[in-house]
Amino acid sequence: MTTRQRNVLGSVTGGWALSLILPVLFSACVGFRPGEERLRQHALLLAHKFIIVDTHIDVPYRLKMHPEDISSSTRQGEFDYPRAVEGGLNAPFFSIYVPADLEQSGAKELADSLIDMVDSVVAAHPGKFALARTPEDVRSQFRSGVLSVCLGMENGAPIHGVLANVRYFYDRGIRYITLAHAKDNHISDSSYDTTRTWHGLSPFGKELVAEMNRVGIMVDVSHISDDAFYQVMQLSRAPVIASHSSCRAFTPGFERNMSDDMIRLLASKGGVIMINFGSSFLTEDYQR
């Protein structure tokens, strides 16, 4: 999982077509000098006027490890309802994160338990949260002043090599899947793993991309190797997202980020990259 990020989801497919409407990155508007207060206030005005989507928030696994009531202000983590409302966040994608060491067993069970947890939180606070499974859900909930809770799965291990699980998790609310995480899995090589088990996608991973396109789950290329990325771009018939990546031009040698060529290719096929604002993703100096 990553540290703090603020992501904005643009026009993508698989049933999700949310408008990219954040002219000013309000989350950077902290620590302004007094002379810039007017700009800060304008940024906040825009943040509350338009729909803001964050495609990767590490809430469910955080709550599993450190239970808290996110409907109120919390001591830990970087998300809770009061802060989301204050900042103008409307549609967070809660990450159903599954550690890489569950690849062989337990991945699906953990994913189900985390989804159950999210369902319980939403059910307990109907005036604050509502599950969102379509763009229209997000729009209508925005109009009614309710925070839309969307779901993405970080690490495709819960698929367990069974294509039918794509539809299963779609029905449970998952709308994107990050194919791999910290290690190569049965779907794809990871940018963090030097083993390069498949030299990109596995044979099953190639089938999985097609099935995700068919069912309507977005393919997320954050965390996967460069070879896997280019194979996804060749195979996917729908636009692809990078749910929480940044620009490799600023962090040379950090494969977890995307090169300019990769970003251009992603954009040319209708996809979007959501920038991760964790310090190690933004500057090479921080990695030293």
Kindly report, residue by residue over 85-123, the tens digit of the pLDDT: 999 999 999 999 999 999 999 999 999 999 999 999 999
Tokens at residue 159, please?
């698929």
pLDDT of residue 36: 86
Q: What is the pLDDT of residue 4?
A: 36
The pLDDT, as a whole number, for residue 196 is 98
Quote the crossing angle between the two packed helices 260-268 and 226-235, to the nearest 10°: 20
| C-alpha neighbours within 13 Å on the C-beta side of residue 175 | 25
Instruction: Indicate the average pLDDT of the chain.
Output: 90
Model confidence band, residue 256 (pLDDT cutoffs 50, 70, 90):
very high
What is the number of alpha carbons within 13 Å of residue 198 lying toward its C-beta? Answer: 24
**What's residue 96's pLDDT?**
98
pLDDT of residue 1: 39
Q: Using 50, 70 and 90 to split pLDDT, how confident is the model at 19?
A: very low
Q: What is the pLDDT of residue 16?
A: 42
The pLDDT of residue 280? 92
Alpha carbon 270 to chain centroid distance? Answer: 17
Q: Give the residue with greater pLDDT, 32 vs 75.
A: 75
What pLDDT does 28 receive? 43
Measure the CA–CA gap between 121 and 11, rounded to whole angstroms. 28
For the domain 26-287, what is the CATH superfamily, name and number? Metal-dependent hydrolases (3.20.20.140)
Residue 13 has pLDDT above 70, yes or no: no
pLDDT tens string 169-190: 999 999 999 999 999 999 999 9
At residue 149 the predicted structure's pLDDT band, cuts being 50, 70 and 90, is very high
pLDDT (tens digit per residue) in 226-255: 999 999 999 999 999 999 999 999 999 999
Per-residue model confidence (pLDDT) at position 175: 98
